Amino acid sequence: MAERLRPQSLGEVIGQQHLLGEGMPLRIAFESGQPHSCILWGPPGTGKTTIARLMADAFDAQFITISAVLGGVKDIREAVEQAQIAQGHGRRTIVFVDEVHRFNKSQQDAFLPHVESGLFTFIGATTENPSFEVNSALLSRAAVYVLQPLGEEDLKQIVQRAQAIDAVPPIAEKALDRLIAYADGDARRLLNTLETLAVAATKEKRGEVTDEWLLKVLGERMRRYDKGGEQFYDTISALHKSVRGSDPDATLYWFVRMLDGGVDPRYVARRMIRMAVEDIGLADPRALRLALDAADVYERLGTPEGELALAECLVYLAMAPKSNAVYVAYNEARALVRKDGTRPVPLHLRNAPTKLMKDLNYGRDYRYAHDEEGGFAAGETYFPEGMKPPRFYRPVERGLEIRIAEKLRELRARNDAQGTNP
């Protein structure tokens, strides 16, 4: 069915009008008469292969497909040989690499000299963010086009086309809505489902696809969830931002979405620990302990009982006072150390385990804080000599950091009285 309905021209392509509509980037590329290397980035079933095939047809080019899942350097060499033969006959070649992100760096590098020489036009298809998965050298030589999941109306158009060629029987309105939701923006998934329904309807001699029968054939609706892909990271990002935004309801929603999609709860537990130290920090130090305990509970109980402990912790994290002061301070300290020179440790702060070191004044004039009033050596300096003391840590006026800020002001006031203020 997918092949019977595959578009034969740009005008037949459903969706992606932000790229293929009049005056849009890919339409202009087709009409220019000059193919160019590109990366087609988008979810499954959005037309990446179809667009690549249409580009080959538009330029009367030899079309060579390589699957990065199954192929390797041998396939790349064979493609080069075929392109050289075609070039000898005055014909262009388009090499289409499906799931290009699965090729390693050396495999991706193998395309570079041939793309630069113009031997063939390279088109890569990927469901992953090419910024992370495609070599920068190859990426710099290819335009990136972002494809979007198909909308409801787009998917309904596909159903109508299938019905127009009598590939599927009539579908009741409620069943159609469920079918579109089940496809979840993926045309390939929709077409495969339609084919399943068509075979089952023929076998049972059904004249219409009803909602009840659709549920019987499909079973419980399975939601698409790519555990290692872009959607995965978008969803964990939504969970993290919901916690940071102190919205327990949204937090639970995204947590359940992840579980429903098949994520390993241990991954969520690890992210919760990160949330506790990045977004709550010393505003509520108990958050970190609770996150560690929740992860422990899940390890002991497993699914589904242990998931409740994770949910409880997530709600706590969402409602806890927020502070990224330590996170910001740590990053500022790292940035300073990266750009600053390697300053020597002041003599009074150096360790002196040997007589020679003591003779060299290591540790001399160091003031032991525990022997000072209030356990604080007012006026002592702990930075390298000649360095203006930076202030990385700036506690916020929330949670426990309110008291920490008060303590810090008091200590700095005592330093001021001694003529220093780190």
pTM reported for the whole predicted model: 0.61
pLDDT higher than 90, residue 368? no
Instruction: Work out the average pLDDT over 170-177.
Output: 89
| Whether pLDDT at 402 is above 90 | yes
Q: Are 288 and 344 in contact (CB under 8 A)?
A: no
Predicted confidence (pLDDT) at residue 274 exceeds the cutoff of 60: yes
Q: Kindly list the structural domains of the chain, giving each domain's residue range(s) and its CATH number in brackets, ordered by start.
A: 10-146 (3.40.50.300), 152-223 (1.10.8.60), 230-322 (1.20.272.10), 344-419 (no CATH)
Token pair, residue 40, equals 């087609």
What is the tens place of the pLDDT at every residue in 407-418?
989 888 888 888
Confidence of residue 231 (pLDDT cuts 50, 70, 90): low
| C-beta of residue 214 within 8 angstroms of C-beta of residue 174 | no
Q: What would the mean pLDDT of 20-28 be, rounded to a whole number? A: 88
Residue 71 β-bridge partners: none
Q: What is the 3-state secondary structure (H, E, C) of 14-52?
A: CCCHHHHCCCCHHHHHHHHCCCCCEEEECCCCCCHHHHH
Query: pLDDT at residue 99 above 60?
Result: yes
Residue 220 confidence class, pLDDT cut points 50, 70, 90? low
Q: What is the mean pLDDT of the chain?
A: 88
Q: Backbone phi, then psi, for 122, in 5-degree steps?
A: -100, 130
Sign, CA dihedral 400-402-408-410, equals negative
**What pLDDT is attached to residue 230?**
55
Q: Which residues contact 382 (CB under 8 A, 6 or more apart)?
A: 349, 422
Q: How far apart are CA 328 and CA 393, in angstroms?
A: 8
Name residue 62's beta-bridge partners.
93
* Average of per-residue pLDDT across 1-13: 84
Give yes or no for residue 151 having a pLDDT over 80. yes
Could you tell me the pLDDT band of residue 185, with boundaries at 50, 70 and 90?
confident
Looking at residue 324, its amino acid is N
Is the pLDDT confidence value at 225 over 50? no
